[in-house]
Amino acid sequence: MQRVDPRSVAVATSCPYCGVGCGVLATADGRGGATIVGDASHPANFGRLCSKGSALEETLSLQGRLLHPMLRSGAELRRARWDEALGHVAQGFQRVIDTHGPQAVAFYLSGQLLTEDYYAANKLIKGFIGSPNVDTNSRLCMASTVAGHKRAFGADVVPGCYEDLDCADLIVLVGSNAAWCHPILFQRILRNKQERGAKLVVIDPRRTTTAEDADLFLPIAPGGDVALFCGLLTHLVANGATCDDYIARHTEGFAQALAAARAIAPTIAATAAAAGLREVDVASFFALFTATPKVVTAFSQGVNQSAQGTDKVDAIVNCHLATGRIGAPGAGPFSLTGQPNAMGGREVGGLANQLAAHMGFSDAEVDRVRRFWNAPRIATREGFKAVQMFEAIASGEIKALWVMGTNPAVSLPQANDARAALAKLDLFVVSDNVLSNDTIAAGAHVLLPAQAWGEKSGTITNSERRISRQRAFLPSPGEAEPDWRIVGALAARMGFGDAFRFRTAADVFREHAALSAFENDGARSFDIGGLAALSDDAYDALRPTLWPIRAGETKGRERFFAEGGYFTTDGKARFVAPEPPALHAATSAAFPFRLNTGRIRDQWHTMTRTGKSPRLARHSPSPFVEIHPADAAPLGLVDGGFARVSTRHGECVLMVVVTDRQRRGLLFAPIHWSDETSSFARVGGLVTAITDAHSGQPEAKATPARIDAVAFKSRGFLLSRAPLRPAFAELGTKIALADGHGLLFASDAALDLWRDYVAALGDAADAADAADYLDEARGVYRAARFRAQRVDLCLFVGRQDARAAFEVATALFEKERLTDEQRKALLSGRAADGAQEDGAIVCACFGVGAKTIDRTIAQGARSVAEIGARLRAGTNCGSCIPELKRAIAAARACCAE
Ligand SMILES: Nc1nc2c(c(=O)[nH]1)N[C@H]1C(S)=C(S)[C@@H](COP(=O)(O)OP(=O)(O)OC[C@H]3O[C@@H](n4cnc5c(=O)[nH]c(N)nc54)[C@H](O)[C@@H]3O)O[C@H]1N2
Ligand SMILES: Nc1nc2c(c(=O)[nH]1)N[C@H]1C(S)=C(S)[C@@H](COP(=O)(O)OP(=O)(O)OC[C@H]3O[C@@H](n4cnc5c(=O)[nH]c(N)nc54)[C@H](O)[C@@H]3O)O[C@H]1N2
Ligand code: SF4
Ligand SMILES: [Mo]
């Protein structure tokens, strides 16, 4: 009989990063690691993975993991037993409830929890502790879409599915850098463009990588979206492009919305002026939209994260309602969700203004959920939304907080205030995967170790309402537990054990599914009653499934609303008349720029996971701020130099990137670095906490800011096998290395201090195998140490940006055995003779750098396919294909000159 090694069996699970929700096949290696490939049978990705998904195997190590409960005693966190930790939390919550009432207890949850975790947490706090004060990081992410959907459709429903992106003739991306943030969907869009000739319009103040593939790019002024889509509505009407039958039969409020749109943007010229665009571009966009029935308008944080986010969503939806282009194949508004389970959190009802399972706080709904949960103390009103929740912590109204699966000390706006608020709590509980992040460092009293991706098991829902399983493929390490079980154990300690008798994630899921169907006669869109009676085996085997899937149904529903059927009382959609567009915080002489914030290709949020991957670190290793050349010059800002970016709320020091891809007057900085990974780059501290009146979502992309050049005596990098001691660098950013520790820094320290620092680092006993080089006059100090033919340490200090030397050194640091030539190369900072410089890494999968790509183009590779054939770059995940195209175009422009 053939024996199968159980470790070689691939487990089908789903990616823990973005809302595309790609299927992954993971094969554990029996040593804590795994091989990860795309799941060809998953309908989100059909086998493809982006750079982040492909690098998942580099994030699985247990280094830095929280593996045991911890309790604070004084300044220290000490290991505790589960028993003790849970007892401490239960008593602490009870004390606060007894003294201040249940509303003084709050939970702050995350779209990275599984649906089962989310359901259990929501049930405990709203149902049994009886506090409405539970919100989630989705408030910073999807809240405007939720509010916009509810106003227009009567329910939070995404009308279409991913197939629409395959069969639309026009795709409009608004405030979405999908090439980097939803890469696999973006590849589907590009395939549609290539194979079917679909047109792509991108609307973003920055010329992003996404914009480079657009047929038409609209570099909109921040906040100009409402004006643009009001102008479009006006134009559609003026050109007879509306579907009057659809408007009459399935909608209400058209006349008022049109009147408002006309007042805001009566003509193309007025629209262009209000949105900061050229008339010709606005006219082209309107003509394309008018002429193309199969149009999908997909949007993300440029729309949601705005003080007018809900109006932006509805201004877009208005144009689809008016043309009846909704819920038909290839037509509809489409919200791209951010986190893997952002949608699951909305289904469960984790937001402060929802109760559970798409029900709110009407008397009838509260009564229904109370009966279903058998929860007499259930919360009966909305609670604080995220930003208000942290204000209530600061004011002392909230006394006890449990943070689960999110890092608010980094990700909330005015994050310095949020962090200060955390210090005021009587009881501050964090469940997480990591031993330390900025939130934990803000003074958590109790740490509860949660299972991480690969260990936990449950379900997530992606942007198209598709529920997929996450399945464990690694053993559960230390004393980590799934979040739902931690919640259940705490509930039992607080005396609510009867309501939390879940043995498995499947038990939780069945109850969640049953609640969605409970007294649901079709009035609630979210109904997965068809999954409420799944056996454990059927749950284990569950294939990716769209919702709704009602009792008796075996298949989910792809689209909504082609024939009306909205979830309002009369079944009709509502047009919404938006407010005139205005950014809420004005620029001034002191803060003349606007700070836009967002994501980069190869990092995920606060880097607790992607930050472990050496491969992902190399695409964009240091925190930066982008600025237009014409803005940079008068301020003396140079590409590769440093700048202090400040707002009324805080300041950062970042590397300057001068680029005409940035709009004048705007700055852009990525959100990923925290105090854990860098010294002055926690950008959330700069962002204003102004929120949208309807959704409570903060305006994270338009804070008034200033920027000033900063100079340092020297800068450089340090790579070391031994852990680094705190360096005296003024500025430092950690770099992930496969077997070592890396630091990029800028410093005012004298050069000989660096020599002493290096001498004291690690075991310098093999001094014979060390070399260094000092040139005081040029301000250069370099040191290298070797052990067993490997690089043990490498330091570069100089006046110039040493990116090329950094690339050479990180590549050599990975080698098991160096030739003499390579040793010399390490100190010279130039690739060894015969080898050529690789440059900054473009293709993370195969480690191919920009210079290698440029040389290959110079040698005749004229297309992405030819580069792929010669270098493999771009042939795995495809995330770098836009950059390959840019290199080809740049070479062509160069030849033409
Ligand atoms: N690589 C990577 N991918 C991710 C994530 C990650 O951390 N890293 N996070 C995931 C999550 S949770 C989310 S929410 C998504 C976010 O995905 P996206 O929304 O695509 O990402 P962002 O970079 O936040 O912002 C998108 C764009 O909005 C633009 N923008 C700013 N202001 C305006 C405006 O007024 N109007 C318009 N039209 N555009 C504007 C910005 O310039 C930016 O390019 O990404 C998901 N995918
Ligand atoms: N300025 C600005 N701020 C922003 C944004 C922006 O564009 N600009 N974007 C906002 C958006 S859209 C989002 S989604 C947020 C994201 O911001 P956060 O949610 O704060 O960021 P993450 O780094 O994803 O934090 C997740 C934490 O949960 C832990 N974790 C992961 N999985 C689990 C699990 O299964 N259980 C538990 N208990 N813990 C787990 C991780 O280790 C990590 O510490 O940032 C928001 N903040
Ligand atoms: S697109 Fe990338 S990050 Fe998003 S789910 Fe797919 S593999 Fe993961
Ligand atoms: Mo998000």
Provide the β-strand partners of residue 414.
none
Instruction: Identify whether the C-beta of residue 422 lies closer than 8 Å to the C-beta of residue 409.
Output: yes
- 740-749, 750-759, 828-837: least confident range: 828-837
Instruction: Identify whether the C-beta of residue 746 lies closer than 8 Å to the C-beta of residue 712.
Output: yes
- List, chain by chain if needed, residues with CB within 6 Å of any ligand 3 atom: 15, 17-18, 20-22, 45, 49-50, 52-53, 183-184
CA pair distance 10, 12, nearest whole angstrom: 6
- Which residues have C-beta under 5 Å from ligand 4, the single-atom ion? 141, 338
- Mean per-residue pLDDT for 775-800? 92
On the question of a cis peptide bond just before residue 548, with omega within 30 degrees of 0, the verdict is yes
581: left (phi over 0), alpha (psi -120 to 50) or beta: beta
CA pair distance 310, 869, nearest whole angstrom: 46
Nearest CA to ligand 3 atom 2: 50
CA atoms in the 13 A half-sphere facing the CB of 20: 32
Tokens at 727, concatenated: 């360096």
Residue 318 Cα to ligand 1 middle (Å): 23
- Mean per-residue pLDDT for 722-741? 89
The pLDDT assigned to 875 comes to: 87
Fold of 70-139+344-546: Rossmann fold (3.40.50)
- Mean per-residue pLDDT for 42-46? 97
C-alpha closest to that of 333 among 346, 350, 321: 321
Nearest CA to ligand 1 atom 18: 176
Non-local (6+) Cβ contacts of 707 within 8 A are: 593, 625, 627, 635, 637, 643, 644, 645, 646, 667
- Mean per-residue pLDDT for 526-553? 97
CA pair distance 252, 571, nearest whole angstrom: 10
Is the pLDDT at 578 greater than 90? The verdict is yes
- CATH architecture, range 841-896: Orthogonal Bundle (1.10)
Residue 597 Cα to ligand 1 middle (Å): 8
Is the pLDDT at 230 greater than 60? The verdict is yes
Q: Mean pLDDT in the chain?
A: 94
The pLDDT assigned to 891 comes to: 86
pTM across the whole model? 0.96
pLDDT grade for 770, boundaries at 50, 70 and 90? confident
- Looking at the chain, the number of H-run helices and the number of E-run strands are 31, 34
CA pair distance 283, 290, nearest whole angstrom: 10
Count the neighbouring beta carbons within 10 Å of the beta carbon of residue 773. Answer: 12
H helical segments located in 714-766: 751-759
- Mean per-residue pLDDT for 354-381? 97
The pLDDT assigned to 4 comes to: 44
Non-local (6+) Cβ contacts of 717 within 8 A are: 735, 742, 743, 744, 745, 794, 795, 796, 802, 805, 806, 809
Query: Residue 181: CB within 6 Å of ligand 1?
Result: yes
Q: Where are the beta strands (DSSP E) in 246-399?
A: 251-252, 295-299, 332-335
Residue 337 Cα to ligand 4 middle (Å): 7
Integer CA distances (angstroms), 636 to 11, 206, 655, in order: 54, 22, 13
CA pair distance 368, 313, nearest whole angstrom: 31
H helical segments located in 349-482: 363-373, 386-394, 408-411, 415-422, 438-441
Enumerate the domain spans of the chain: 6-59, 70-139+344-546, 143-335, 593-710, 714-828, 841-896
The pLDDT assigned to 2 comes to: 44
Per-residue pLDDT of 74-98, as tens digits, reads 889 999 999 999 999 999 999 999 9
Q: What is the 8-class DSSP label of residue 279?
A: H
Count the neighbouring beta carbons within 10 Å of the beta carbon of residue 659. Answer: 15
The pLDDT assigned to 737 comes to: 94
Tokens at 790, concatenated: 């490997």
196: left (phi over 0), alpha (psi -120 to 50) or beta: alpha
Per-residue pLDDT of 183-215, as tens digits, reads 999 999 999 999 999 999 999 999 999 999 999
Would you give the distance in Å from CA 522 to the centre of its chain?
33
Is the pLDDT at 864 greater than 80? The verdict is yes
Q: Which residue of 13, 14, 17 sits with most ligand 3 atoms within 8 Å of its CB, as the best mutation to test the pocket?
A: 17
* More confidently predicted of 409 and 842: 409
Q: Which CATH class is domain 593-710?
A: mainly beta
| Type and span of the H or E element at 302 | helix 301-304
Non-local (6+) Cβ contacts of 763 within 8 A are: 722
Non-local (6+) Cβ contacts of 112 within 8 A are: 16, 339, 340, 341, 405, 406
- List, chain by chain if needed, residues with CB within 6 Å of any ligand 2 atom: 110-113, 137, 140-141, 301, 305, 338-339, 404-408, 410-411, 431-434, 437, 450, 452, 456, 483, 597-598, 605-606, 608, 671, 683-684, 687, 700
The pLDDT assigned to 763 comes to: 75
Instruction: Identify whether the C-beta of residue 169 lies closer than 8 Å to the C-beta of residue 330.
Output: yes
CA pair distance 820, 817, nearest whole angstrom: 10
Q: Which atom of ligand 2 is nearest to the CA of 687?
A: 1
Tokens at 425, concatenated: 């709590």
Instruction: Identify whether the C-beta of residue 664 lies closer than 8 Å to the C-beta of residue 670.
Output: no
Residue 754 Cα to ligand 4 middle (Å): 41
| Type and span of the H or E element at 431 | strand 427-432
Residue 598 Cα to ligand 1 middle (Å): 5
Per-residue pLDDT of 492-523, as tens digits, reads 999 999 999 999 999 999 999 999 999 999 99
Q: Which CATH class is domain 143-335?
A: alpha beta
Integer CA distances (angstroms), 34 to 59, 473, 483, 892, in order: 10, 8, 23, 42
Residue 58 Cα to ligand 3 middle (Å): 15
- Mean per-residue pLDDT for 385-413? 98
Is the pLDDT at 731 greater than 80? The verdict is yes
Is the pLDDT at 558 greater than 70? The verdict is yes
Provide the β-strand partners of residue 718.
743, 795
Integer CA distances (angstroms), 145 to 152, 341, 460, 542, 648, in order: 10, 15, 19, 28, 28
Tokens at 471, concatenated: 């399945």
Integer CA distances (angstroms), 715 to 152, 478, 748, 779, 798, in order: 54, 40, 8, 10, 6
Tokens at 506, concatenated: 């499947």
CA pair distance 772, 752, nearest whole angstrom: 11
Q: Which residue has the tokens 């259940």?
A: 488
| Type and span of the H or E element at 646 | strand 642-646
Per-residue pLDDT of 682-718, as tens digits, reads 999 999 999 999 999 999 999 999 999 999 999 999 9
Tokens at 116, concatenated: 């089962």
Residue 21 Cα to ligand 4 middle (Å): 13
Long-range interactions of 721-726: CB distance < 8 A, separation 24+: 721/762, 721/787, 721/790, 721/791, 721/792, 721/793, 722/761, 722/762, 722/763, 722/792, 722/793, 724/761, 725/757, 725/760, 725/761
Do 6-59 and 70-139+344-546 agree at the fold level?
no
The sign of the torsion formed by the CA atoms of 105, 109, 114, 118 equals positive
Percent of the chain's residues with pLDDT above 70: 97
Q: Which residue of 701, 703, 879, 880 sits with most ligand 1 atoms within 8 Å of its CB, as the best mutation to test the pocket?
A: 701
Tokens at 582, concatenated: 């205005």
Per-residue pLDDT of 292-316, as tens digits, reads 999 999 999 999 999 999 999 999 9
Per-residue pLDDT of 161-172, as tens digits, reads 999 999 999 999
The pLDDT assigned to 161 comes to: 98
Instruction: Identify whether the C-beta of residue 461 lies closer than 8 Å to the C-beta of residue 478.
Output: no
C-alpha closest to that of 596 among 669, 662, 664, 658: 669
User: Cα 807–813–819 angle (5° rounding)?
Assistant: 105
pLDDT grade for 432, boundaries at 50, 70 and 90? very high
The pLDDT assigned to 330 comes to: 98
Instruction: Identify whether the C-beta of residue 300 lies closer than 8 Å to the C-beta of residue 175.
Output: yes
SS (H, E, C) 219-269: CCCCCCHHHHHHHHHHHHHHCCCCCHHHHHHHEECHHHHHHHHHHHCCCHH
The pLDDT assigned to 1 comes to: 40
Helix (H, G, I), strand (E, B) or coil at 319: helix
CA pair distance 482, 465, nearest whole angstrom: 24
- Dihedrals phi, psi of 542, to nearest 5 degrees: -55, 125
Q: What is the 8-class DSSP label of residue 544?
A: P
Helix (H, G, I), strand (E, B) or coil at 682: coil
Per-residue pLDDT of 445-490, as tens digits, reads 999 999 999 999 999 999 999 999 999 999 999 999 999 999 999 9
Provide the β-strand partners of residue 746.
715, 731
Q: Which atom of ligand 3 is nearest to the CA of 183?
A: 1
Nearest-ligand number for the alpha carbon of 701: 1
> In what order do the strands lie in the sheet containing 11-14?
11-14, 23-28, 34-38
Helix (H, G, I), strand (E, B) or coil at 12: strand
Q: Which residue of 229, 301, 406, 697 sits with most ligand 1 atoms within 8 Å of its CB, as the best mutation to test the pocket?
A: 301
Helix axes 115-122, 505-517, angle to 10 degrees: 70
Fold of 6-59: N-terminal domain of TfIIb (2.20.25)
- Dihedrals phi, psi of 563, to nearest 5 degrees: -110, 40
> Residue 76: what residue type?
E
